Structure 1
Amino acid sequence: MKLFYDTVCGGGASCDAKLLTGAEWFLVFTCVAIVLAQRPNLNSIAGFSFVAAITAVGYYTLIWVSTFSKGRPYSASHVPLQNGKSGMDRVTTIFNALGIIALSFRGHNLVLEIQGTLPSSSKHPSSKSMWKGVLISYLVIALCMFPLAIAGFWAYGNKIPTKVGNLSIFLEFYSHNASKFMKGVTYMLVIINCFTSFQIYAMPVFDNFELRYTSFKNKRCSRWVRTGLRLFFGGLAYLIAVAFPFLPSLAGLIGGMALPLTFAYPCFMLISIKKPQRSSPMWCLNLGLGCLGLLLSLLIVIAAVWTLATKGFHANFFKP
């Protein structure tokens, strides 16, 4: 939002005088997001989900297409970035990258909630339509991410900033040679995407709040109570965003911690629900894959911690 304001305003003393602080930008975003977050359930935000998908594809495509069209800077180097590093540093860098990739394919923590909203019968179980949706969505994510990574390394090589987990640094770097109109469109697409995707990830939290309320009070959640719960969550999200603005720099660590949601828990859930015969091929396969997922998650977390310990980490508490 700050980058969009700077682009539209055009810089100068008058723009700087009206510029909001980081905490104020966070507050503006939170207020707008909570105003939009008044839909009752996941079924009611299908439009938000569609807009989030379209805008994400739009700004990723704009970035990598414009990157190819601008060509390579003369000083960019494509010498392998691992040259001169020790064996341990290379291994931890690879695992840290896997954690960032795992976080890029986020959304797996919402699969069960989304599947629960789909119609299901013995002839047409919801798992089949959900499986198709997951395949299509992850294919779209790959079609966005991989061209961007290839175009970025082709164009900039070792000049790409190391703090790629920070979206503002990422956007500012990729768009520094773009026209004012292109930058404005890209930033606006990102803003719309953040507002709409916030609703998708927050809705399961809202549902849990309302479930706890109805279980405790033994009555339906009124509109005013629902609004109050969402205001509370918005305030909590704002507090975390302002208190820990460096969280994007922990993308590898967070990705490693979230990895079991994709590679471990589903395997153990299948064993628990389907109860295949012990030592059968299905039982051994899911147990092995689940344990492998936990081991991979542990290795990624260790690599992320090692990287933070060796490269250093700037924790700017309450200074967004």
Structure 2
Amino acid sequence: MAMMGMGIDTKNLDDDGRERRTGTMMTASAHVITTVIGSGVLSLAWVIAQLGWAAGPAALVLFSVITWFTSTLLADCYRSPVTGNRNYTYMDVVRANLGGVKIKLCGIAQYGCFIGATIGFTITASLSMAAVKRSNCFHMNGHHAQCKVSNVPFMIIFACIQIVLSQIPNIHKLSWLSIVAALMSFSYSLIGIGLSAAKVAEGSHEVRTSWRGVEVGVDVTETEKVWRIFQAIGDIAFAYTFAPVLVEVQDTLKSSPPENKVMKRVSFIGVSTTAMFYVLCGCIGYAAFGNDAPGNFLTGFGFYEPFWLIDFANVCIALHLIGVYQLLSQILFAFVENFCRNHWPENKFIAKERAVNVPLHGKYYINLFRLVWRSVYVIATTVVAMIFPFFNDFLGLIGAFSYWPLSVYFPIEIYISQSKIPKFSFTWTWLKILSYACLVVSIVAAVGSVQGLAADVKTYKPFKSR
């Protein structure tokens, strides 16, 4: 009643007093698919080439099953089983169930992953934009022409777009962008699958494939084979990392039907859709290119014609990365802004919202702190991307370090804590075995990623046109 007296319509508020959530299974699925199906799907032909016909698809399916299982555990942690109170973020879930130093470890893994990913997305999006210009150059001058294009100007264009979109207030207002981004991810994935299938059907040249992947003594040395296997596992781990956004996406859902039931369906839709595209792209791409599969067969020019379709696919990649950059950044933005508001509630620069009339939109509230700090963040990630263009390879390392704690360890530990599973019981034992097995895989992937990064640093020539 007090709220009504203050002029606030309680019909527009949820049970926690916040603005009523309007998210549905469709919007949440769009968020998840936008996050999971990244441009890395186009590198899966290379992944299968390193692992072979047997281990490659098996690894993709195994990671998808593990990711789906642990995401269902995490979905039950959004509300406290005793009080029914909401946990708005992944850190809140860890705080409510585990506490202690694990809260900080969760934050470091989650937000470190976001920062690294946004830098990587800046690089990848600029490469896709530059690939459009290169594609047209190859079409006009022949496939052996020296079509060198710097991606730095395209990083600046990408940054300008992100500065504008970063003024979207929060993740709850981002559904439209995630739906567009999800459609873009489907588009370039289908184009990649279609072009690969056409190349297989054409059968104009001999392609070498095998059950074990690249051959020692023919394609690589024995040492290189081991390192590449490790790197491929790291790429798969990063490709399936969507747990860092799961709780925040769940917080956008309507309270009826129950959020955990809807989120479990969303996780199944997201993971099964992702697995299908990953296996198709990886296997058909490997069949098309064999052991010589490029790291990315669209930006790496595994295909040259039809050039207009290559251009369209690369535009789709850039548009998709615009959306996923925002999805991850909005979670980071909310964390920083809530922290500052809680510590300096009286600071007008941080707290005050200024109403501005925008034509065709109506009132839009501008917060100076939000405007300045979000713009600075975008500029900073862009500068790092310009200085270290090999940083995209660092994503495998980020994936290796973030996959185990965020996608496996914390969901399992929280489930054990909430369900009060007895120590050394059958369920406790096999969950622990699963967790430690994934830890070993993450360590192996991290070692491979470090080796690959070291090789990049050795051959790196700054500011050379790429």
TM over 0.5: yes
Q: Extract unaligned runs of 5+ from structure 2.
A: 1-128, 142-147, 354-366
C-alpha distance in 2 between matches for 1:313 and 1:75: 34
Match of 1:48 among 145, 160, 177: 177
Shift, 1:263, TM fit = 2.0
1:241-252 matches, within 5 Å, as: 241-252=385-396
| Bigger Cα displacement from structure 2, 276-285 vs 142-151 | 276-285
With over 3 angstroms needed to count, the CA separation of the structure-2 counterparts of 1:214 and 1:284, relative to structure 1, is: same
With over 3 angstroms needed to count, the CA separation of the structure-2 counterparts of 1:235 and 1:297, relative to structure 1, is: same
- Structure 1 match to 2:288: 155
| Bigger Cα displacement from structure 2, 252-261 vs 301-310 | 301-310
1:225-264 matches, within 5 Å, as: 225-260=369-404, 261-264=406-409
Match of 2:162 among 33, 37, 42: 33
What TM-score, normalized by structure 1, do the two folds share?
0.84
- Structure 2 match to 1:74: 205
- Structure 2 match to 1:103: 238
Deviations 1:4-43 (A, max 9, x none): 234467768xxxxxx9743222111111122122211111
Deviations 1:213-250 (A, max 9, x none): 20122153632221112101101211221122102223
Q: Tell me if structure 1 keeps the 8 A contact 2:298–2:310.
A: no
| Bigger Cα displacement from structure 2, 180-189 vs 91-100 | 91-100
Shift, 1:316, TM fit = 4.4
1:83-232 matches, within 5 Å, as: 83-84=216-217, 89-120=224-255, 124-161=257-294, 164=295, 170-176=298-304, 178-219=305-346, 220=351, 222=353, 223-232=367-376
Shift, 1:305, TM fit = 3.2
Q: Tell me if structure 2 keeps the 8 A contact 1:63–1:174.
A: no
For 2:328, give the aligned amino acid: Y
Q: Tell me if structure 1 keeps the 8 A contact 2:401–2:446.
A: yes
Match of 1:298 among 439, 443, 447: 443
C-alpha distance in 1 between matches for 2:320 and 2:352: 29
Shift, 1:112, TM fit = 1.4
With over 3 angstroms needed to count, the CA separation of the structure-2 counterparts of 1:279 and 1:39, relative to structure 1, is: same
- Structure 2 match to 1:280: 425
Shift, 1:310, TM fit = 7.7
C-alpha distance in 1 between matches for 2:205 and 2:247: 49
Q: Extract unaligned runs of 5+ from structure 1.
A: 13-18
| Bigger Cα displacement from structure 2, 258-267 vs 298-307 | 298-307
Q: Tell me if structure 2 keeps the 8 A contact 1:49–1:200.
A: yes
Q: Tell me if structure 2 keeps the 8 A contact 1:72–1:156.
A: no
Q: Tell me if structure 2 keeps the 8 A contact 1:242–1:317.
A: no
Identity %: 23
With over 3 angstroms needed to count, the CA separation of the structure-2 counterparts of 1:316 and 1:133, relative to structure 1, is: farther
With over 3 angstroms needed to count, the CA separation of the structure-2 counterparts of 1:78 and 1:286, relative to structure 1, is: closer
Q: Tell me if structure 2 keeps the 8 A contact 1:253–1:305.
A: yes
Q: Secondary structure at the match of 1:175?
A: coil
| Bigger Cα displacement from structure 2, 24-33 vs 63-72 | 63-72
How large is the Cα RMSD of the aligned pairs?
2.8
- Structure 1 match to 2:410: 265
Deviations 1:136-184 (A, max 9, x none): 11222222222111121111112222xx2xx5x74342332x2132122
